[in-house]
Structure 1
Amino acid sequence: MYVESNCVFCEPKLEADQKIILSNDYCMFLQLDQARIKGVKLEGAGLIVPKTHRQTAFDLSLEEWQATYELLPHVKKYIDETYQPDGYNLGWNCGEISGQHIPHAHLHVLPRYADEPLAGKGIRYMFKNDKNERKGFTGLNWNK
């Protein structure tokens, strides 16, 4: 198993506020202490990360994909019982342009709540937003 000594996902103890909540042979579910506070923006949110250092989701082994798949329902059960969300967003950011700020693959597990100002807005919302239109392109209308 390859680990980067300065990576906060390879070495979770490097981030003092980060806890391993659940794990299996190939991956773990991490959660920051502030995500465990009722009412915060990312209440209940966490990440499923492979234990071996992988740059993006495209680099995961078949075993790591399977382990992520197997851990996800346990993560959902934990979040459902602890935070009682009304829905979820799941997502991978792959590469700096997509918003991946830590170069270790991680699946965002984001509980959503009916009382959020943006309730009902999914992960495509930012892409459908006119403020995110690429310069010089006046094509399709995705806002339907």
Structure 2
Amino acid sequence: MDCAFCRLIRDGTARWVVREAESCAFIPVNPLAPGHTLVVPTSHFTDVFDTPPDVLTASMTLVQRVAAAMRTALGASGVNILSASGPGSEQSVPHLHFHVVPRWVDDGISTWPTGQSRRRPTGDPGTQLAAAGHGRLLIRP
């Protein structure tokens, strides 16, 4: 199966925050907030039910690192982490993924997860997140 995320990974065409052997992170096409990032396994797994534990661990470790970068680089006071798995969950892309959305007390997202943040970035949030790792977070293709 050649899914949208597999194509992005294969072609290297995403706005990358992190690329690692087991998982990667990139900015989605329509972010909910400045710095909204998707974390996905680099190999295709449909959802949490068919993902091996070691791949799930690598992905969640990256989720945690991205969330920490959001706090330091973007000044986020919190994050929302969302993942949908299976037909009844309204999963949008059949490739396991985690939305990591930075949040601020005054961001105006009152209808999570469908609202849009009022917060406007200064600079490119993806670049700021990548730089927060001081060269450890971003691995260029």
Fold conserved between structures, TM > 0.5: yes
Taking the aligned partners of 2:109 and 2:16, their CA distance within structure 1 comes to 29
What residue in structure 1 maps to residue 135 of structure 2?
none
Instruction: Give 3-state SS (helix, strand or coil) of 2:5's partner.
Output: coil
What residue in structure 2 maps to residue 79 of structure 1?
70
**TM-score (normalised: structure 2):** 0.65
Of structures 1 and 2, the larger Rg is shown by 1
Q: Does 1:104 align with 2:100?
A: no
Contact preservation (8 Å) 1:12, 1:20: no
Q: Which runs of 5+ in 2 are unaligned?
A: 114-141
Contact preservation (8 Å) 1:21, 1:31: yes
Q: Does 1:8 align with 2:15?
A: no
Contact preservation (8 Å) 1:30, 1:46: yes
What residue in structure 2 maps to residue 53 of structure 1?
44
What's the Cα RMSD here? 2.5
Q: 1:52 to 1:15 in 2, by over 3 A?
A: closer
Residue 92 (structure 1) shift:
1.2
What residue in structure 2 maps to residue 133 of structure 1?
none
- Equivalent pairs, count: 112
What residue in structure 1 maps to residue 128 of structure 2?
none
Q: 1:102 to 1:34 in 2, by over 3 A?
A: closer
Q: Which runs of 5+ in 1 are unaligned?
A: 36-40, 124-144
Taking the aligned partners of 1:51 and 1:106, their CA distance within structure 2 comes to 10
Contact preservation (8 Å) 1:12, 1:19: no
Residue 51 (structure 1) shift:
1.0
**TM-score (normalised: structure 1):** 0.64
Q: Which amino acid aligns with 2:25?
A: F
Taking the aligned partners of 1:52 and 1:86, their CA distance within structure 2 comes to 32
Where relative contact order (Cα < 8 A, 6+ residues apart) is larger, the structure is: 2
What residue in structure 2 maps to residue 29 of structure 1?
25
Taking the aligned partners of 2:12 and 2:91, their CA distance within structure 1 comes to 17
